[in-house]
Structures are given as structure tokens and as C-alpha cells.
Chains A and B, each alone.
Chain A
Amino acid sequence: MTNDDKERLLYEAMEQHGDYLKRLVYTYVKELQKTEDIVQDVFIKFYKSIDSFEGRSSIKTYLYRIAVNECQNYLKSWHYRKLEVTEKVRTWLKRESLEVDYLQKEQNQSIGELVGSLPIKYREVLWLHYYVELSITEMADVLKCSPNTIKTRLVRGRRLAKITIEEGEIEYEY
């Protein structure tokens, strides 16, 4: 593949998937600056690995697989964990005052907020499915697990986020 071809693919990937990919990365790291760093790394890795892309999956799936991998690596890093632990400790300290509003807050939470508060394995399948609109098979490819695992996580994630699907219609369940 010539450099021109690679640059064309990169351009198309950034134009078609850039915004969605950046939003998905944000749902993992929840820090705008870090999101930008990761998105940049994702596209650079994408460009550098285009030659080894075998075409067994779509460009979109391939790109999201790199993105999810980068995000998961970041979430495993010691620095993130240190920040996360500190954040948790701060939350514990504040818990007493927060409890008063807890029930009221839960009632007012939107689906987005509920999904955002879920463990990462449920959060990522809900975002990939409902927002990025990947199929079960594509998600299995991106997350490197079996379609059955994806289905299970999707069902549990929906239940936790209080999403029901009735005859194709999605609505709140309180």
C-alpha cells in the first residue's frame, strides 16, 4: 500500500469515525486532555498498522479495537489507579453528606448517567452497541471475547441501566 493510499484511509477514518471514537474514548477515561492523547495515539497506530490489516474485519471494527485496547491499557496504568483510588477515598469521606440526596439523585439520573456509573465491562458494550452501533459479532471482535459473553453483558448492562426493550422500543424502567 502506498503512502498516499494510507493517508487517504487515515483521512477517511478520521472523518467518518473521529467524533464517535473520541466520545467513546471519553466514556472510558473521563478526562478531556487524556482523551485527546489517546485518540491521537489510536490514529497513529491505525496508520502504522494499516499494512498489516488483513481485512477480516471492517476498518471501523479495527479502529475501535485499537481504541478499546488503548483505553484499557490506560485504565490499567498505575497512575490512573492512583487517581481512581484517591477519588474513591474522597468519595467515601463525602459519603455521609451525599447519602441524603442519594435516592432523589437516583430517580433523576438519565440513562447516560446510569450507564456511566456501571462497571466498565457493561458500560463498554452498551456504548459500543447503542452509540457506535456495532453488532454483537463486531463487538466480540473489538473486545476480544465470544459473542455469548457480549450477549450476557448486554443483557446485564441493560438491566443495570434500567433499559428495557419491548417490541423494538426502548424506554425507561423505574
Chain B
Amino acid sequence: MNIKHELERSLPASIKLSEKEKTNIRTKIQKSHQPKYHVKPLIVSIVAVILIGISLLPTIQSVEKASPPSNDNSMAIMDEEQQQNIESPAPSVEEPPKEPLSLTDEEKKQYYKEYVEIVERAMQKKPGLSTSVVPIEEFDDKYWVTPEEFEEMIQEGVEQHLATEREKIDNMLITPEPVITNADGSTTKTTYIYFPDILKTIEVTGYFETQYNEIYDRQLFTKADNISTKLAYPRGTWEQTSYRVSLIDGGRTYSIYIEGNFDYNGLHFEKAFTIEFNCDVNGKIY
């Protein structure tokens, strides 16, 4: 009995580091190199300016001290500035801890209602996050913030999530999956949707028609229909709830906005994403 083979048998078939993954790794490494070359001279310049500034500071101060004050007001202003400098030195990186809000029960209920509305508004955009407000009873006094601050926090969270999604998808699309024309005439294109820590591969299929346009002397889209989606790997379930097609770029591109629900391990996510199908001069869809 070969235990190595026994162990390998317990894995899904054909887990291998594909050529695509190897290419992605190399590309990502190359990309990570590029900015350094651009940033390096900039950093050196900034450091140089700072050093020059520091070295000139005593000279400037001595010149200022030596100059007679032009009038009493300017002197007064300078004193005030110096006073401010003493009282609040260079801005600190860490903000001082904020005093917790002191709220009445009525105010808490009002704030809580606003928190719920803020989260609902953010989730209506279906960013692929599963976020809700914990029951009001679980709110510790130190957690209360103004609705404006709360909204800012939620926005930051959503933006951070979408930025991570963009980065992960860009990374996968370095070597995109080929667009497939199916036997029934439909076209399938692969893209990715991101939920915290999981990037799911999703296949979008649609029926497209193109027609020759004499004015532009090329094929252009005329129709898009029956847009459907499915997960490439069935872990978790995806249910498409709606889609909307928009013909853009003078008829060369269909921008398709798709909404759906993803359920995984008891967690529920609502997700909206957009994918583009393009047609070339000969009507080939990509």
C-alpha cells in the first residue's frame, strides 16, 4: 500500500500549478518591480529637499531674529504661531482617543435607526459584503459614533472591499480565459466576483447578434439576449436575479450589469457586477 498515492487520491483530481498561474506569478513580480524605478528618484528628491530644509532652518531662524519687526501686529501674530507650535507640536500620526458620545436612550435609538439605514443603503449597491448592524442591546457605550462617522466607516469598508476585488480580478485577467462560442450560437465569457477572502470564477453566457454597418464599414452589435450566469466551480451557490444590457462604444460593446445572490456555508451575499462583451470588425465576439 503506497501511502503517498493514498494521500494524493484524497485530493481533487489534477491539482497542479498551471502555466497560467506561473505566468501570473511572474507578471505580478515584474509589476511589483516597475513602480520602484519610478518612485526611487522621487523619494530621493523628497529626502534631499527635507535635508536641505533642515540644514537651512537655523539660518532662516537667525535671519528672522535679526530682522526688526515691521509692526507690532506681525510680532503679535508670530508670537501666537509660536505659542501654537509649543502647544501643539508637529501633528501626531495617532489621533488622540475620542471621548465616547454621551447619548440618551432616545438619541441612541435614533442613531441606531440611522446606522441601519446607512448599512442598508450601502448593501443596496450589492458590493458582495454580508454586513448588518448588531442588535442595539449589544452596542457597548464606547461604540457609539455620530451617524456621519458611521457612514464614513461603512464607506471605507465598502471601498476597501471593492479595491481588493479590483486588484484580485486584475491579477486573474492578466491571462484571461478564452471567450467561447457554444454550439447553440451563444457566447460564454469568464470573469470573477469577490466575496471577502473568496474569489469566485463565474461564466456569463449570452446570445448576441452582429450586423455589418456600411457607415463604419464593420460589424456592430444589434442584439443581446438571454444573459445567464453560472459558477465555474460549484462550491457555494449563485442565483442570478436580474441583468441589464447597455450598448455602448458606438455599438462595439455590450456592457452587461448583472445582479445575483451567492450563498456559501450559510452566509448570504448580494452581488452586482458588470462585464463587457466586444465585437471586432469581423463580428468576432471577445
| A86 in the interface (beta carbon within 8 A) | yes
Give every chain B residue within 8 A of A112 (Cβ-Cβ): 6-11
Q: CA separation between A34 and B265, bound complex, in Å?
A: 15
Distance in Å from the Cβ of A38 to the closest Cβ of chain B?
11
Distance in Å from the Cβ of A14 to the closest Cβ of chain B?
5
CB <8 Å contact, A34 and B29? no
| A83 in the interface (beta carbon within 8 A) | yes
Q: Which residue of A lies closest to B233 (CB)?
A: A32
Give every chain B residue within 8 A of A89 (Cβ-Cβ): 266
Stretch at the interface among A39-47, A53-61, A99-107, A143-151: A39-47
CB <8 Å contact, A10 and B21? no
Given A22-B15, A33-B198, A39-B17, A130 contacting B4 (CB threshold 8 A): yes
Distance in Å from the Cβ of A99 to the closest Cβ of chain B?
21
CB <8 Å contact, B25 and A37? no
CB <8 Å contact, A26 and B233? no
CB <8 Å contact, A32 and B12? yes
Give every chain B residue within 8 A of A40 (Cβ-Cβ): 21, 24-25, 28, 171
Give every chain A residue within 8 A of B8 (Cβ-Cβ): 23, 112, 131
CB <8 Å contact, B11 and A43? no
Distance in Å from the Cβ of A88 to the closest Cβ of chain B?
10
| B267 in the interface (beta carbon within 8 A) | yes
| A interface, CB within 8 angstroms of B | 7, 10, 14, 18-19, 21-23, 26-27, 31-37, 39-40, 43-44, 47-48, 77, 79-80, 82-83, 86-87, 89-90, 110-113, 115-116, 126-127, 130-131, 133, 163, 169-172
Beyond A39-B17, A86-B265, A163-B3, 19 additional pairs, beta carbon < 8 A: A7-B26, A10-B25, A14-B25, A22-B17, A23-B8, A26-B12, A26-B15, A34-B197, A40-B21, A40-B28, A48-B32, A77-B197, A79-B197, A113-B10, A131-B4, A133-B4, A170-B1, A171-B1, A172-B1
| B interface, CB within 8 angstroms of A | 1-4, 6-12, 15-17, 21-22, 24-26, 28-29, 32, 168, 171, 196-201, 233, 235, 264-267
Cβ contacts A to B, 29 pairs, < 8 Å: A7-B26, A10-B26, A19-B16, A23-B11, A26-B11, A26-B12, A31-B198, A32-B15, A32-B235, A33-B200, A37-B199, A40-B21, A40-B171, A44-B25, A44-B32, A77-B197, A79-B196, A83-B265, A86-B267, A87-B265, A110-B6, A110-B10, A111-B3, A112-B9, A116-B10, A130-B3, A131-B7, A170-B2, A172-B1
